[in-house]
Structure 1
Amino acid sequence: MKWKQIPLGPLQTNCYIVYDENQSCLIVDPGDNPRKLATVLEQLELKPEAIVLTHAHFDHIGAVDRIRDKYGIKVYIHEKEKDWLPDPSLNGSKHFMLNEPIKARPADHLIKDEGAMSIGSFEFEVFETPGHSPGSISIYFPEAEFVLAGDALFNGSIGRTDLPGGNHNQLIRSIHDKLLVLPEQTEVLPGHGPTTSIGLEMDSNPFLNGF
């Protein structure tokens, strides 16, 4: 199992392509620049299976419809944010974007439970990690030893909690109970910025002192 990080859009939101030896792939958080994303997919000769969203803030969903329509694939999101894709007041674009607000059609599949999940040939675990937003999830590939943490945990930082539905204490609990319990060598693929590891964040993240 391999992955590729592609920063997209004005906030340089990390989109991830997770792909296997058969050239199938999952697209996680296609935030903007659909043409750039499609070019990378074509260069790697990958066949998209689905789009999975760690959460529905505008900077993570801007290319959803263009990519799903181009490849004829389904979109997955946690049920707590099922109304956010078409609603600029919920996804935040109404308040942050200078140009047109971001809208996308509703997701095709709602994630309702934690635990093992499969899409095509991909098998992974879903953790509910709310706090940055109510329906934030993290996506864990145990055999490949990496977790896509969305905007929950960053290299040396954590997600902001001052947006609608955010909760600082809830986010700290999510990180502590769902992410810091993973093996220390687990690579953390965050929604912004460089990658890190569980062990590194346990040792040096100033927001997680005391864990």
Structure 2
Amino acid sequence: MKWRQLPLGPLQTNCYLYSNEQKECLVIDPGGDGNKLISILQQQQLKPIAILLTHAHFDHIGAVDDVRKQWNIPVYVHKNEKDWLSDPSKNGSQLFMAGAVSVSDPDELIKGEGRLEIGSFVLEVYETPGHSPGSVSYYAKEADVVFSGDALFAGSIGRTDLPGGNHEQLIKSIHNKLLILPEETIVLSGHGPDTSIEQEMETNPFLNGF
């Protein structure tokens, strides 16, 4: 299994292409620049089979419909944010941008934690709310990576001042769901560079002393 990070959209949100040897891939958080993303997928000869969202803020969903229509694939999001994709007041675009972001509703709802199998891909879904009520992280044991969305960053954590955010809840999510992963696990965040569970346990100032 391989992964590639692509900063896309107005806030340079990290989109991830998680692929297997057959060049099938999962597209995680396609935040924008749909034509660019489609071009890269075609150049790499990758075949998307699903779109996974860590949460439904506008900067993570901007290219959802472009990719979904190009390959006719399903979009997954947590049930707590099932109506956020099409609602600019909920996905935050109404607060931050002159133009509202609205995409079609999801095809599949993540209703809880557990094993998620899509083709040959096997992921563990962890509910990690706090940045938003439907935030999830996807752990790929085979690749030793966790796609943490905007829950955990290198040296930081997600903001909690947006609607549905909760600082205490986010800290608990990180400690109870992410820091229990193997220390060598690579953390692939929604913004900024990758890091590791070990690195964040040792140096993240937001997590010390909890």
TM-score, with length taken from structure 1: 0.98
Answer yes or no: is 1:131 the counterpart of 2:130.
yes
What's 1:166 paired with? 165
Q: CA separation in 2, counterparts of 1:110 and 1:124?
A: 15
Q: Give the number of equivalent residue pairs.
A: 210
Answer yes or no: is 1:3 the counterpart of 2:3.
yes
Q: CA separation in 1, counterparts of 2:6 and 2:204?
A: 24
Of 170-179 and 116-125, more deviation after overlay is shown by 116-125
Q: CA separation in 1, counterparts of 2:185 and 2:93?
A: 32
The offset of 1:207, in angstroms, is: 0.2
1:100-179 matched pairs, under 5 angstroms: 100-179=99-178
Q: CA separation in 2, counterparts of 1:143 and 1:4?
A: 15
Q: CA separation in 1, counterparts of 2:49 and 2:119?
A: 7
What's 2:198 paired with? 199
SS at match of 1:143: helix
Answer yes or no: is 1:184 the counterpart of 2:183.
yes
Q: CA separation in 1, counterparts of 2:73 and 2:199?
A: 36
What's 1:23 paired with? 23
Q: CA separation in 2, counterparts of 1:10 and 1:74?
A: 24
SS at match of 2:51: strand
Q: CA separation in 2, counterparts of 1:55 and 1:88?
A: 14
Q: CA separation in 2, counterparts of 1:21 and 1:14?
A: 22
What's 1:46 paired with? 46
Q: CA separation in 2, counterparts of 1:3 and 1:144?
A: 9
The offset of 1:28, in angstroms, is: 0.3
Answer yes or no: is 1:57 the counterpart of 2:57.
yes
The offset of 1:87, in angstroms, is: 0.3
What's 1:32 paired with? 32
SS at match of 1:40: helix
Q: Deviations over 1:46-87 (max 9, x none)?
A: 000000000000000011111100111110000000010000
The offset of 1:43, in angstroms, is: 1.6
The offset of 1:186, in angstroms, is: 0.2
SS at match of 1:85: coil
Q: CA separation in 2, counterparts of 1:9 and 1:74?
A: 21
What's 1:95 paired with? 95
What's 2:72 paired with? 72
Q: CA separation in 2, counterparts of 1:103 and 1:120?
A: 28
SS at match of 1:207: coil
Q: CA separation in 1, counterparts of 2:109 and 2:195?
A: 29
Q: CA separation in 2, counterparts of 1:17 and 1:210?
A: 35
Q: Deviations over 1:19-39 (max 9, x none)?
A: 000100000000100111111
Task: Supply the AA of the counterpart residue of 1:27.
Answer: V
The offset of 1:167, in angstroms, is: 0.1
Q: CA separation in 1, counterparts of 2:106 and 2:120?
A: 20
